[in-house]
Structure 1
Amino acid sequence: MPAALSVNLNAVAMLRNRRDLPWPSVTGLGRTAMAAGAHGLTVHPRPDQRHIRFSDLPNIRSLLDKEFPHGEFNIEGYPTEEFLSLCEAHRPDQVTLVPDDPSQPTSDHGWDFIAQKEILKSVTKRLKDNGFRVSHFCDPDADERQLDAAAATGADRVELYTGPYGATFNDNSAQSDKADQLGRTADLAEERGLGVNAGHDLTVANLPPLVAAIPNLSEVSIGHGLTADALEYGMAGTVERFLAALKGGCTDGR
């Protein structure tokens, strides 16, 4: 089975927030993405609400429940008490924990699982006791000791940070090296019983090599590149292109 595609709506929300207007509609474009075949929707509600607002969460939850009951809701963020309470209130299928400082423009590194194992253990238990799948953001070059610690937190999955891989868009040799690195890290995670997700700077051009390097990839979460393509191809057409890329096709270099 190809990896599931979760459409990250943060970039849509950021565009909406440039004006005090309700468009582009976060739920409207989420509906279009799901109708086109996306498997789920992702949001990252940061404390300053600079893109997804807390008020968006019940609307997305309702959209999935009423119109796409098999679709998954993935909420990602740093595990403050406020964030954990948002998760408990809006019942995502998956919670992805990221080690972000609130001032960061975007996620750009994984957890130090060794140093933060006990904190992550406690938070993971709380989330799993609520029935949520838990995934932890993971560096692309995490070693055996780091992944031993990740598994010891009780997480179900890790999400491999693919930013460095995405940055090789104009260097085929470097892209191949980064894909191999991600493949090795994915193998280490799978050996420890962890499922593997991936996200950051993924495109229709670089998805096929990534899928080849990680054959058992469970899910990709894509926001910026997908939203950028949607300006040209429309949301429905873009989702179809990304789904084709996850099957190894649509390698038009964009």
Structure 2
Amino acid sequence: MTELSVNLNAVALLRNRRDLPWPSVTGLGRIALEAGAVGLTVHPRPDERHTRRADLPEMRALIDTEFPGREFNIEGNPTEDFLTLVETIKPEQVTLVPDDPGQATSDHGWDFVAHGERLAAITARLKRFGARVSLFADPEPDAAQIEAAAATGADRIELYTGPYGATFDDAARAAEEVEKLGATADAAEALGLGVNAGHDLTVANLPALVARIPALAEVSIGHGLTADALEFGMAETVRRFRRACGQTV
């Protein structure tokens, strides 16, 4: 079954427009977990334009005290500052993303051949406190790249689904992109890697992805989910996305 982790960056971005504590990132995270999300995802960028470092202890405490067994997933470029941060918060999952600090959002995966040795060392470091490690990956079933990803010792890859999300008005292109994602997942699974996915996923495009990748472990969704929450509310939106993942709600 594909699980849903709710990315709260867009909620934090809205809050940060004012020097006020609402909307509450932790409060909406609580609603998402109450509605059945498996966990919460954040991407604390260096400029704190989305989730702030000060948010992380609150979300860690929320999960530990009210939702034991759920998961905290922290994404980011593995700078020394980031690694020190996650070693302090100890999320259940760390997703490593090759973001430049100036990027508006994550828009590409790792070159595993070029960065494999560095990622292997970082993966080993993160596993010392028990984290599951996921590596952001482009939807390209290149054997050398997938083999290099597996050689890092990471537990999973997270498929970058942005190109798939961009095909919302073109069914033929959507079918091509979902097949690329599926072929990449097949190659990863053959080498023992679990598969996550994230970026521009919606209630409309999730079912085809889940059907093509039956072993898809988790999707992390923020922008589309937050947009829907403005219309349906956070709790109902989480339930809608869980149903799109194939869950019985």
Instruction: Say whether the fold is shared (TM-score over 0.5).
Output: yes
Q: Does the CA-based 8 Å contact 1:162-1:200 persist in structure 2?
A: yes
Q: Distance in 1 between matches of 2:72 and 2:21?
A: 22
Q: Distance in 2 between matches of 1:249 and 1:223?
A: 21
What are the Cα deviations for residues 24-52 of structure 1, in whole angstroms up to 9, with x where unaligned?
00000000000001000000000000010
Q: Distance in 2 between matches of 1:238 and 1:173?
A: 27
Please report how far the alpha carbon of residue 97 of structure 1 lies from its aligned counterpart in structure 2 after TM superposition: 0.1
What is the TM-score with the length of structure 1 in the denominator?
0.97
Q: Does the CA-based 8 Å contact 1:208-1:249 persist in structure 2?
A: no
Please report how far the alpha carbon of residue 6 of structure 1 lies from its aligned counterpart in structure 2 after TM superposition: 0.2
**Amino acid of the structure 1 residue aligned with 2:212:** A
- Is 1:83 aligned with 2:82? yes
- What secondary structure, in the 3-state scheme, does the structure 2 residue paired with 1:115 have? helix
Please report how far the alpha carbon of residue 142 of structure 1 lies from its aligned counterpart in structure 2 after TM superposition: 3.8
What is the TM-score with the length of structure 2 in the denominator?
0.99
Q: How many residues align?
A: 249
Q: Distance in 1 between matches of 2:113 and 2:141?
A: 11
Unaligned runs of 5+ in 2: none
**Amino acid of the structure 2 residue aligned with 1:110:** G
- Corresponding residue for residue 117 of structure 2: 118
Q: Does the CA-based 8 Å contact 1:37-1:240 persist in structure 2?
A: yes
Q: Distance in 2 between matches of 1:130 and 1:66?
A: 20
User: Which consecutive segments of 4 or more residues in structure 1 shift more than 2 A?
Assistant: none
- What secondary structure, in the 3-state scheme, does the structure 2 residue paired with 1:221 have? strand
- Corresponding residue for residue 142 of structure 2: 143
Q: Distance in 2 between matches of 1:122 and 1:89?
A: 18
What are the Cα deviations for residues 195-219 of structure 1, in whole angstroms up to 9, with x where unaligned?
0000000000000000011010000
CA RMSD of aligned residues (A): 1.1
What are the Cα deviations for residues 59-82 of structure 1, in whole angstroms up to 9, with x where unaligned?
000000001001100000000010
Unaligned runs of 5+ in 1: none
- What secondary structure, in the 3-state scheme, does the structure 1 residue paired with 2:154 have? coil
Structure 2 CA distance for partners of 1:110 and 1:180, relative to 1, 3 Å: same
**Amino acid of the structure 1 residue aligned with 2:199:** H
Q: Distance in 2 between matches of 1:33 and 1:12?
A: 12
**Amino acid of the structure 2 residue aligned with 1:93:** E
Q: Distance in 1 between matches of 2:214 and 2:125?
A: 31
